[in-house]
């Protein structure tokens, strides 16, 4: 089996050229013979007429054998390739100069003879019967009349007779045929080599691209090495289709590699997420079970105060577990686009009052100062009240969680260009390392310096806030420096 596009093309092209060469040589050989026959007939067009006029072949009404033999000898000595015959009006061969066994056809078709005579000066290539063979030959002919203009016979001259055929075949075999074959073969070989070179130039980029695709697959779809040849721009029109295809493949391979890296990264995130979820769910479940088992085993031996304390702790654990499960379901709905918002024009000061009231107790208990800095209490934004409150609760609660006692959490509201309002939450807490900034909005991500607060947070608040803001066509931005606090901010459309 022949492999490779170029090899298959070469084989097909070679086959086509061999067939083409045979056809061309056949056409050339036939055209050459026809040209020779036409030339010979033109040169001998009036030969029979001259002989009839100069020699008395029928002095009376009978054939003059001596005159016929003399005419035959004279012409055949001058032109050995000719053969002379006297033909009756019905086509019977009356006189000839040849051995008896040489005459194959004793009668000839007179229709071509009549057509030849009727054409006169209007030449047209005509073939007639050859008495010595079964081939059709060019001829010259003339009618023979008596004194009363009665048709007695025809002088029929085969121009390229048997001797001519023998000589022509010998010449063709030894010189002309081989010369013609050599010229045609040389031309075809040159054309074949030129076409193969052209095919090589055309298929080389495709072969190279095929190797690059194979290498890309064999390496497990890793990033391709930079090619020595510059890749064409997708907007450039100076490269051909194969170059454009190669450029598209390289750009596609980069996309594939990025997608594979993205999937690997998110698969790792999914594994970590599941590990965190299972840990966070298992811990409160284990605690709640322990309290309930204690109540079941030692219920009668416990004081009323201890029983109330165990029940209270079990309920708090249950609330924590319920909140965690709610957040998991909320994040899942957000990631699958199952959450819709109903934006309306709201007074931002009213929403901040509710936020402050709900989180001030948490801040006071931890010794963190919670402050609100608003440019104007009349600022209004377009947002879904419940979703925006959820965002603020998550951001402010997260800031309080990671701010040590004596620190401060400040909520700032300012006007921004293009009819926007900027809302930011700043804290003086632990801050975030530069390498962790791109990942803080990922579910269950905790910065390397946030382990001390690990037991308090669920790791989903920032991810939920980011996705809720995305529904408002806004983006949650993060700024921070290790040991100097963190700032979360976003923009909303204003009235």
Q: Residue 128: inside a domain, yes or no?
A: yes
* Three-state secondary structure of 346-399: EEHHHHHHHHHHHHHHHHHHHCCEEEEEECCCCCEEEECHHHHHHHHHHHHHHH
Rounded to 5 degrees, what are φ and ψ at 426?
Answer: -115, 145
Q: pLDDT at position 256, please?
A: 82
Torsion angle of C-alpha atoms 436, 441, 444, 447, degrees rounded to 10: 20
User: For the chain, how many residues are written?
Assistant: 495
**Residue 452 confidence (pLDDT):** 47
pLDDT range class, residue 425, cuts 50, 70, 90? very high
For 255, the 3-state DSSP assignment is helix
Mean pLDDT of 432-455: 66
Residue 352 lies in a domain: yes
Looking at the fold, whether 406 and 440 belong to one and the same domain comes out as yes
Whole-angstrom distance, CA of residue 157 vs CA of residue 137? 10
Q: State how far the Cα of 3 lies from the Cα of 25, in Å rounded to an integer.
A: 32
Cα 274 to chain center, whole Å?
A: 41
Beta pairing partners, 165: none
Which residue, of 335, 363, 378, is where some domain finishes? 335
Report phi then psi at 172, rounded to 5: -60, -40
- Do 25 and 148 lie in one domain? The reply is yes
Q: What is the CATH classification number for the domain harbouring 436? A: 3.30.565.10
Domain end (from 135, 170, 205): 170
Question: What φ, ψ does residue 153 adopt, rounded to 5°?
Answer: -170, -175
Please give the share of the chain, as a percent, with pLDDT higher than 70: 82
Q: Are residues 322 and 357 in the same domain?
A: no
What is the spatial distance between Cα 21 and Cα 38, in angstroms, rounded to a whole number? 25
Give the model confidence (pLDDT) of 125-138 as tens digits. Answer: 899 998 888 888 88
For residues 315 and 369, give the distance between their C-alpha atoms in angstroms, rounded to a whole number.
29
- pLDDT by residue (tens digit) across 329-365? 777 777 777 778 888 999 998 888 888 888 888 899 9
Give residue 482's domain range: 344-493
Q: Say which DSSP state 429 is in.
A: S
Percent above pLDDT 90 for the chain: 12
Q: CA-to-CA distance for 51 and 405, rounded, in angstroms?
A: 141
Please check whether residue 93 is in contact with residue 108, taking contact to mean a CB–CB distance below 8 angstroms.
yes
Do 33 and 77 share a domain, yes or no? yes
pLDDT at 171: 57
pLDDT at 453: 42
For the packed helices 47-54 and 65-78, what is the interaxial angle rounded to 10 degrees? 140
Domain count, the chain: 3
Based on the fold, state whether residues 390 and 361 are members of the same structural domain. yes
Asked whether 86 and 57 are in contact (CB, 8 A), the reply is: yes
Same domain, 385 and 484: yes
H/E element, 104: none
Do residues 95 and 160 both lie within one domain?
Answer: yes
Pair (62, 29) in one structural domain? yes
């Amino acid at each position: 089996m022949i492999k490779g596009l170029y090899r298959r093309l070469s084989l097909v092209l070679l086959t086509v050229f061999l067939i083409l060469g045979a056809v061309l040589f056949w056409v050339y050989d036939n055209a050459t013979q026809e040209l020779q026959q036409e030339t010979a007939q033109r040169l001998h067009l009036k030969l029979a007429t001259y002989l009839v006029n100069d020699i008395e072949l029928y002095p009376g009404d009978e054939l003059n054998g001596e005159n016929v033999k003399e005419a035959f000898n004279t012409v055949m000595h001058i032109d050995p390739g000719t053969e002379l015959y006297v033909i009756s009006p019905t086509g019977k061969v009356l006189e000839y100069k040849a051995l008896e066994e040489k005459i194959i056809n004793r009668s000839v078709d007179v229709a071509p003879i009549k057509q030849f005579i009727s054409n006169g000066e209007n030449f047209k290539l005509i073939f007639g019967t050859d008495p010595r063979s079964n081939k059709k030959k060019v001829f010259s002919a003339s009618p023979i009349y008596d004194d009363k203009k009665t048709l007695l016979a025809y002088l029929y001259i085969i121009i390229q007779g048997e001797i001519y055929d023998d000589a022509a075949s010998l010449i063709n075999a030894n010189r002309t045929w081989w010369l013609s074959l050599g010229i045609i073969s040389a031309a075809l070989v040159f054309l074949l080599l030129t076409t193969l070179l052209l095919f090589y130039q055309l298929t080389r980029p495709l072969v190279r691209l095929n190797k690059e695709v194979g290498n890309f697959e064999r390496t497990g779809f890793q990033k391709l090495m930079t090619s020595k040849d510059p890749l064409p721009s997708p907007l450039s029109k100076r490269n051909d289709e194969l170059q454009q295809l190669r450029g598209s493949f390289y750009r596609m391979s980069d996309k594939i590699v990025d997608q594979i890296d993205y999937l690997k990264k998110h698969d790792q995130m999914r594994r970590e997420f599941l590990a965190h979820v299972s840990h966070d769910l298992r811990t409160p479940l284990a605690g709640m079970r322990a309290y309930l088992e204690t109540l079941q085993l030692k219920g009668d031996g416990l004081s009323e105060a201890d029983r109330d304390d165990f029940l209270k702790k079990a309920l708090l654990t249950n609330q924590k577990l319920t909140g965690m499960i709610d957040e998991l379901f909320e994040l899942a709905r957000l990631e699958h686009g199952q959450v819709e918002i109903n934006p309306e024009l709201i007074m931002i000061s009213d929403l901040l009052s509710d936020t402050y009231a709900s989180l001030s107790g948490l801040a006071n208990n931890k010794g963190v100062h919670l402050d609100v800095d608003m440019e104007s209490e009349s600022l209004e934004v377009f947002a879904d009240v419940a979703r925006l409150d959820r965002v603020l609760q998550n951001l402010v609660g997260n800031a309080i969680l990671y701010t040590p006692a004596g620190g401060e959490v400040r909520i700032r509201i300012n006007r921004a260009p293009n009819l926007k309002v900027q809302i930011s939450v700043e804290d003086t807490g632990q801050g975030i390392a530069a390498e962790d900034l791109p990942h803080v909005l990922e579910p269950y991500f905790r910065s390397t310096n946030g382990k001390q607060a690990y037991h308090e947070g669920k790791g989903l608040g920032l991810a939920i806030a980011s996705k809720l803001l995305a529904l408002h066509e806004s983006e949650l931005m993060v700024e921070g420096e290790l040991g100097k606090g963190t700032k979360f901010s976003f923009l909303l459309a204003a009235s």
